Amino acid sequence: MSGKIILLIGGSGSGKSSLIKRLRHEYERVRFIPSVTTRPKRPTEHDGESYHFVDVKTFQQLIQENGFIEYAHVHRAWYGTPRQAYEEILATDGIVIKDIDPKGAAAFKTLFADQVITIFVSVPPDLMKERLLMRGDTPEFEARLVDYADAWKDRDHYDYMIENIDFEQAYVDLLGIISAYIPGQPSES
Ligand SMILES: Nc1ncnc2c1ncn2[C@@H]1O[C@H](COP(=O)(O)OP(=O)(O)OP(=O)(O)O)[C@@H](O)[C@H]1O
Ligand SMILES: Nc1nc2c(ncn2[C@@H]2O[C@H](COP(=O)(O)O)[C@@H](O)[C@H]2O)c(=O)[nH]1
């Protein structure tokens, strides 16, 4: 296998999904495979775009069928990386980006070693709070702040770190790290 996996780790609201969205828009060769989750869908989300939304029974069945590369309980729900779609990309020289919790990132490193590049996205806690409230994450808000405090302690475990205060700067920093792995030019759209 020769593909690359870029993993973004960091607090809820640090901007991982927004960075991924911008990158996918500009570089069509960068693939994103939606994870499977038992979390309730947000009003702005559509099934199959950011995630495949399933109930706990379906998630358990996928575990039984060895359908995940890794899975973890994060905040208050289950999240899993679909095995088949990833293995197809990695068998070629494809590049895939995803956001993931620290346990998931560790599992990827164990399984795929040098194919994996880990990037910690940091955010000052006051901005994180502001962004989560704006997104409407009120019920699970505290759990997400505690999880970020834990993730922050292990920030040195990752290959790179970027700070997302100014979004444009964070995006430029992300590109600076990964552009060497992206084949071809940005898409024209
Ligand atoms: N630099 C920024 N300045 C202002 N708002 C931002 C910035 N980056 C992201 N946001 C906003 O913050 C909110 C959370 O961002 P996003 O969903 O990308 O975070 P995330 O790290 O993927 O969170 P989660 O891990 O919970 O999925 C979104 O509404 C997004 O538009
Ligand atoms: N271990 C995994 N963690 C994942 C996966 N997909 C997303 N995540 C992480 O879960 C939280 C919550 O995300 P949200 O979209 O519900 O706010 C975040 O830290 C993600 O990075 C996965 O497949 N495996």
| Beta bridge partners of residue 96, listed in sequence order | 5, 31
- Residue closest via CA to ligand 1's atom 6 equals 15
| Closest CA to ligand 1's atom 9 | 15
Domains and CATH numbers, the chain: 4-181 (3.40.50.300)
Give the mutation target among 9, 100, 101, 131 for probing the ligand 1 site: most ligand atoms within 8 A of CB. 131
Contact 9, 118 (CB under 8 A): yes
147 C-beta closer than 6 A to ligand 1: no
pTM for the model: 0.93
Residue 125 phi, psi (nearest 5): -55, -35
Instruction: Give nearest CA residue, ligand 1 atom 26.
Output: 12
**Helix, strand, or coil here: 138?**
helix
pLDDT tens across the length of the chain (189 residues) = 678 999 999 988 899 999 999 999 999 889 999 999 999 998 889 999 999 999 999 999 999 999 999 999 998 899 999 999 988 888 888 899 999 999 999 999 999 999 999 999 999 988 988 888 887 766 667 777 777 878 888 888 999 999 999 999 999 999 999 988 887 667 655
For 75-186, where are the E strands, in sequence order?
77-82, 95-99, 116-122, 160-163
Residues 6+ apart with CB under 8 A from 131: 13, 15, 123
Q: Which atom of ligand 1 is nearest to the CA of 167?
A: 1
Q: Is 118 in the pocket of ligand 1 (CB under 6 A)?
A: no
